[in-house]
Amino acid sequence: MKSAKKIDTWLFALFAMPFFMATLSTAAANILGVVFLITYATSGYWRDWRQSLSRAWFWPLMALLAINILGMLWTQDTMRGLELLVKLKWALYTLAGATLPWTRSHFVLVIRLFLIGMAINAVIGVLQWFGLFPWRVMTYLGPIGFTGHIFLSMTLTNALLWLAYDLKHKIVFSRAINIVLVLLFFWQLIAGAGRAGYLAFVILVPVALWLLYAGRWRVWAMALLILAVIGLGLSPQVQNRIKEVRTDIQTYNAGNAETSQGLRLVFWEGALLMAKENPVLGVGTGDYKIELERLHQKHAIPDTPSTLNSDHAHNSYLAYLADLGLTGLFIFLWFLWSVVKETWRYRDHASAWFKLAYLGVFLLGSFTDTLIWGFQNAFALGLIVAIPSVLMPESMASQEITRSGT
């Protein structure tokens, strides 16, 4: 039994490794994910595949996979379509992770590794900021460490939402460690250039604190939040990034769409035009790029040569609407709703709260980028969906280990 439990712990550690490496190395996260799948295949837990059938997201996920595959029947860009199908590999981690015997100790291991990885990247970012770390220095984007500024900003907000919960319940770390992490991650957020993280923080953190705390604790929490928002607004980086948005929109209105926000508006306009022409089934899996080129040649969208290098709509919802029409968008929303509904019901539980925090950030971030096609965001989605909203007792997990033959 001790040997089985040891193997079991290693399996969960491998499951958590992509979380640990998320902000440190995409390549390492991918490789370790494959190692997890290989180890999982030898573990015997795949025999419990029927457990996935009881999860609210199972059939919506099957429908999502099916519509993407069927979309290959009417696509013109077969290679791009195949690339998108490969990106759906996150579903393998969802189905595999859903059969594991999750307990509180396993969940704590996953979150602990996630936060440690975030902390390591934050320390690297600090060293970069002060010129003490000479590799991959991009201080104009802030102390981002080894990851992209957009993904980092959303992941930092996700971590801060979890820490708000753990400051109250002390499940993963002590209150003192949690406070240090809050200060470190918040500084990294406001010093960084990720506007998606700013938006998620301002919208989701007030809701989280309202749900978590009551009475005088809610008053104190909201007071601290006000100070945090003031700090966010006073950050020179944040002020510059917000100013850029205003400038980009003014430039777009003046007839020049070759700016960050201007191009995003063109991408969205192109997606809506594709959906208007193909409302039910869309243009086909992966056909966004060639259809955008066609619209550009017809002068149906603003003259923006930079758009010709983009193969997605920079919006998860519009990406499905353009590629797979109202049918694809409905199935995508059905899948997301099934996950949110299952999670919201048990939001007082630690694992459900962590999932809800990520889902909130993912849903908001999907309005400004195609997170569902991005490796880091989609990979994390697949892993998080697999975690049950209610964890089983340790005694039941021991029985599952024995029964699965690990």
- Rounded to the nearest 10 degrees, the angle between the axes of helix 195-212 and helix 215-234 is 170
pTM attached to this predicted model: 0.92
d(CA 114, CA 300) in angstroms, rounded, equals 45
* pLDDT surpasses 50 at 3: no
Sign, CA dihedral 8-9-10-12, equals positive
With cut-offs at 50, 70 and 90, classify the pLDDT of residue 286.
Answer: very high
Please, which residues have CB within 8 angstroms of residue 319's CB and are 6 or more apart in sequence?
271, 288, 312, 313, 370, 372, 373
Ramachandran angles phi, psi of 50, nearest 5°: -65, -20
Which of 123-127, 307-311, 368-372, 388-392 is predicted with the least confidence, judged by mean pLDDT?
307-311
Maximum CA extent, the chain: 70
d(CA 124, CA 139) in angstroms, rounded, equals 12
Quick one: pLDDT at residue 308?
A: 67
SS3 at position 360? helix
Per residue in 165-209, pLDDT (tens digit) is 999 999 999 999 999 999 999 999 999 999 999 999 999 999 999
Quick one: pLDDT at residue 7?
A: 57
User: How many Å separate Cα 16 from the centre of its chain?
Assistant: 15
- Residues 360 and 161: beta-carbon distance below 8 Å: yes
Quick one: pLDDT at residue 306?
A: 67
